[in-house]
Amino acid sequence: MSNNIVLECNNIWKKIGHHVIVNDVSLLLRQGDILGFIGPNGAGKTTTIKLMLGLQFFNGGSVKIGGYDLRKDFVSAISNVGAIIENPDLYMYMSGYENLKICTKLYGLSEDRILEVAKLVGLENRIHDKVKKYSLGMRQRLGIAQAIIHRPKVLILDEPMNGLDPEGIKDLKVLLEKLASEENMAILVSSHILSELENFCNRICILVKGKIVQDLKIDEIKEKLANLNYILEVNRIDLHEILYHFEVIDENHIKINTTKDKLANILKTLLLNDVDIYEIKKEVNSLEDVFLKVTKDISND
Amino acid sequence: MIKLVVVELKKIFKKKSIYVIWGLMFGFCLLNNILYYRDYDDNGNYKYLELDNLKEEKLKLEEELLQYNKDNQNEVTMYITIKTKLDILKLKENFSNSSWQYHKVNTYLYDIIYQINYYQYIEKNIDELTKKKEEYQVVLNKLNENNYKYFLNMEIKKNVDIQNELKKQYLNENDDKIKLDLQEQIKNNELTLKILNYRLNNDIKEDNSYLNLALESYQENYKTVKYFEELGDIKSYQDKFDYQEALSEVKISQYIVENKLNINKQNNLSFQLRTIVEDYEIFIVMLVLIVSGVIICDEFRDGTIKLLLIKPYSRGRILLSKYFTSIIVVLISILLLIAMQLIIGGIIFGLESLNIPVVVYDFDKAKLVEYSVFQYMIIRIGARMPFLLMLITISIFLGVIFSSTIISITMPLIFYMFSSTILNLASQYKLEIMKYLVNFNWNLQDYLFGRLPANSFINFRFSIIILLGYFIVLWTVTYIIFKKKDIKNI
């Protein structure tokens, strides 16, 4: 393996009928990477993941996992991956322990590993309960335990934050960071909410309509996201002499696009000019905004 | 591969449905054994059937009798006819319905009772009446004394007379056609005499005993066999089939009578074991369908198939492991069924019957062959296996194509249940094209011991080719579809 590349996706595409679902997608994952795979609903994230795992078949391109070609040597390639696709695939009528036992059996591992991973995901106390009785967060964690039980080089998680409470999300992030740094796993996490991923991924891939629009390092992303919209409720809107860039929403609201640091100065200026400010709201930068921004940047180039 | 099968088995045995079916199977087995023990006789007939009928018949006749007036000239004949029947029924009630007297009362006493009634109500002849009544008493005494030999000697004498008469006629007859007819009659009579003498020497009464039934069956079927054998070349398929049936019956009845061994006794453990898989087949069929539903359709529905498909095994192996798992579950269920029957039947009937051999007439070897119960059972199960394998194949095939539990359970079930209807229709309307249907060929039990199948369109080789053809086509399609299947997004 050169340069620690563990997953290599080269120009894969998939067509269903006349519709191209995944269009020329290329991805690279190195050891220790946490890649955020972002896209709106229906962008083809899950399909791309399924193509990479051999659950669906691509029309063209190639996928290499751990140095093995997925098509030519499926068994060797797939044994380097652990994954949760859509939902954790669990047998509801079995206990957590039995679910994990199935995995150890299929990978030919010893049963000691079950308690080890159960501890790692924090399920050791409830491991003998039926999965039916688990909460969503516990199921998600059991799913991760299933996926990492054989110490894969690549861990692929499809929308793992769905339905988790903020604390669950935090725990999950800690766990994933630990896996990346300690076990040196390469992790791919998909989501349709950018804010979930921004502060722990070191790379972000944006998928729109089956195409990768942008593949960015986290620093670049931060830069892109630095400019934020603030909505101010003010007593007057004839501020052209005071401010350069702003947008009038209605009689009492204006929108300012700026960075955090500059906002303080703007507010100071406004106050000095006797403008009354009643409320300041940060407009959450939606994914669509980022996409628009990104695509706009591309067309401007 | 073994790991995959172990995992699949684990999944199945964690499901409740399989235990429900096993429970039902146990309950049904228990019930069946108890009923056989309590309510059925050695020959598999309901014990109380005739007794109930007798009471009903008596009531009916009594009612009818009231409609006729014995003093009315026109009605008195009808009156005595019904009265005679009623008298016979009343007499019958004195004997157990399995005794020879019960069966023969009518034969020996009908005429006498009729005459008694005649002299009493129509001719009113006191002398004749007393004479007949004396005669009646003699016969009744013999019946009550259980003196079967008295009647047997009487019948032998009667038949010897007939025989002599026939022979005399034969010698005096010139017409060839009539001569041939007489020859036939003489032969039949000879057989009757032979059997009667056999009864006398071996003390076989005309009751419900297995020896009598075997003897009667022998007499009946021997005529058929002789008829066909004298015909020489048997042309029609139905005749060939009937000849086989009769021949097998003759040989087996002969065996029973000669060895004085009731090999076809029904209310014992041996008989329950012989056809065990056929008797409880619906449970095995349900199990087959549930298993493939659980390990194919449920996995697609719940998405757990993905878990399996991203494990380091090729799709072909995964599919094959599911097939083997189904077979293993079916085999386990059959073993369980046999164990249940052995335990329940052992407690209810005892184990002695296991020593009785199963005797079949093997047409290939042209002789009787003795098997132990277990050998025979295994042969039958073996011959039924292609059917079960086919059913598993069909339900996996449907499961992989439709990924719908409902379709892959109900469609084969409907096909299975209407299978015999389809067969009947096909043979009724001589639809030879139907012979290419798999259910026409999947029961290899029809061919066991060199027998002819019920249908003339097919033979053993044809069935094997059809079965293999179906297996190959279904498996190829299933394999290709499963191998190429995109796991759809939820």
pLDDT at residue A298, as a whole number: 52
- The domain boundary, picked from B146, B176, B202, lies at B146
pLDDT at residue B25, as a whole number: 92
- Provide the 3-class DSSP secondary structure of residue B390: helix
What digits encode the pLDDT tens for the residues B303-322? 888 989 999 999 999 999 99
Domain presence at residue B170: no
- Starting at the edge strand found earlier in the chain, the sheet holding A247-248 runs A247-248, A253-258, A228-234, A277-283
| pLDDT for residue B256 is more than 70 | yes
| pLDDT for residue A241 is more than 80 | no
CA–CA dist B14, A90 (Å, integer): 13
Provide, as residue numbers in chain B, all residues whose Cβ is less than 8 Å from the Cβ of A93.
14-16
CA–CA dist B259, A41 (Å, integer): 83
Domain presence at residue B414: yes
Domain presence at residue B218: no
Q: Are A116 and A151 in contact (CB under 8 A)?
A: no
| pLDDT for residue A295 is more than 60 | no
Tokens of B250: 């003759």
pLDDT at residue A299, as a whole number: 47
For residues B17 and B132, state if they share a domain: no
Name the closest residue on chain B to residue A77, using Cα atoms: B312
Tokens of B418: 């209407």
Q: Are B337 and B25 in contact (CB under 8 A)?
A: yes
For residues B14 and B139, state if they share a domain: no
Provide, as residue numbers in chain A, all residues whose Cβ is less than 8 Å from the Cβ of B306.
53, 55, 85-86, 89
Chain A interface residues (partner B, CB cutoff 8 A): 46-47, 50, 53-57, 74-76, 78-79, 81, 83, 85-87, 89-94, 98, 101-103, 105-108, 146
pLDDT at residue A1, as a whole number: 39
Section B445-454 average pLDDT: 84
| pLDDT for residue B232 is more than 80 | no
pLDDT tier at B335, thresholds 50, 70, 90: very high
| pLDDT for residue B103 is more than 50 | yes
Nearest to A266 by CA among A252, A283, A280: A280
pLDDT at residue A2, as a whole number: 45
| pLDDT for residue A237 is more than 60 | yes
Number of C-beta neighbours around residue A58 at 10 A: 24
Q: Are A89 and B302 in contact (CB under 8 A)?
A: yes
| pLDDT for residue B143 is more than 90 | no
pLDDT tier at A224, thresholds 50, 70, 90: low
Least CB–CB distance from A57: residue in B6, B16, B486:
B486
pLDDT at residue A145, as a whole number: 92
Least CB–CB distance from B313: residue in A75, A81, A94:
A75
The residue ranking higher by pLDDT, A150 or B68, is A150
| pLDDT for residue A97 is more than 90 | yes
What digits encode the pLDDT tens for the residues B372-387? 989 999 999 999 999 9
Name the closest residue on chain B to residue A50, using Cα atoms: B487
Provide, as residue numbers in chain B, all residues whose Cβ is less than 8 Å from the Cβ of A130.
none
pLDDT tier at B471, thresholds 50, 70, 90: very high
The ipTM is 0.78
Can you give the residue range of the structural domain that contains B116?
Answer: 48-146
Domain presence at residue B163: no
Interface test with A, best of B306, B315, B317, B490 (most A CBs within 10 A): B306
CA–CA dist B92, B57 (Å, integer): 12
| pLDDT for residue B475 is more than 50 | yes
Least CB–CB distance from B11: residue in A87, A89, A91:
A91
pLDDT at residue B262, as a whole number: 82
Domain presence at residue B187: no
Which letter does DSSP use for residue A244 in this model? S
For residues B439 and B293, state if they share a domain: yes
Name the closest residue on chain A to residue B17, using Cα atoms: A93
CA–CA dist A172, B280 (Å, integer): 53
CATH topology of domain A227-300: Alpha-Beta Plaits (3.30.70)
Is A108 close to B306, i.e. CB distance below 8 A? Answer: no
Q: Number of Cβ pairs closer than 8 Å across A and B?
A: 78
Least CB–CB distance from B3: residue in A46, A53, A108:
A108
CA–CA dist B394, B398 (Å, integer): 6
For residues B278 and B406, state if they share a domain: yes
CA–CA dist A146, A87 (Å, integer): 12
Is A47 close to B489, i.e. CB distance below 8 A? Answer: yes
CA-based nearest distance B474→chain A, Å:
23
Provide, as residue numbers in chain B, all residues whose Cβ is less than 8 Å from the Cβ of A76.
312
Q: What are the boundaries of each domain within chain A?
A: 2-220, 227-300
B2 interface with A at CB cutoff 8 Å? no
Is B314 close to A87, i.e. CB distance below 8 A? Answer: no
Section A81-103 average pLDDT: 90
CA-based nearest distance A276→chain B, Å:
52
Provide, as residue numbers in chain A, all residues whose Cβ is less than 8 Å from the Cβ of B307.
89, 103, 146
The residue ranking higher by pLDDT, A216 or B59, is B59
For residues B421 and B442, state if they share a domain: yes
Highest-confidence range of A203-207, B162-166, B477-481, by mean pLDDT? B477-481
What digits encode the pLDDT tens for the residues A118-171? 988 888 889 999 999 998 888 988 999 999 999 999 999 988 888 788 888 888
pLDDT at residue A3, as a whole number: 63
- The domain boundary, picked from B103, B130, B146, lies at B146
- How many folded domains does chain B comprise? 2
How is domain A2-220 classified at the architecture level of CATH?
A: 3-Layer(aba) Sandwich (3.40)
CA–CA dist A270, A249 (Å, integer): 17
Domain presence at residue B226: no
For residues B11 and B137, state if they share a domain: no
Number of C-beta neighbours around residue B257 at 10 A: 21
Please, what is the average pLDDT of chain A?
Answer: 83
Q: Are A85 and A53 in contact (CB under 8 A)?
A: yes
Please, what is the average pLDDT of chain B?
Answer: 85
pLDDT at residue A222, as a whole number: 64
- The domain boundary, picked from B119, B146, B173, lies at B146
Interface test with B, best of A12, A55, A59, A86 (most B CBs within 10 A): A55
Nearest to A106 by CA among B300, B6, B327, B314: B6
For residues B337 and B419, state if they share a domain: yes
Its pTM stands at 0.80
Least CB–CB distance from B303: residue in A86, A93, A102:
A86
Provide, as residue numbers in chain A, all residues whose Cβ is less than 8 Å from the Cβ of B6.
105
3-state helix, strand, coil in chain A (%, to 5): 35, 30, 35
For residues B296 and B351, state if they share a domain: yes
CA–CA dist A301, A244 (Å, integer): 25
pLDDT at residue B35, as a whole number: 86
Nearest to A129 by CA among A82, A155, A94, A88: A94
Domain presence at residue B346: yes
Name the closest residue on chain A to residue B4, using Cα atoms: A106
| pLDDT for residue A23 is more than 70 | yes
Is B304 close to A54, i.e. CB distance below 8 A? Answer: no
Q: Which residues contact B31 (CB under 8 A, 6 or more apart)?
A: none
Domain presence at residue B432: yes
Tokens of B446: 């029809």
Q: What percent of chain B has pLDDT over 70?
A: 99
pLDDT tier at A300, thresholds 50, 70, 90: low
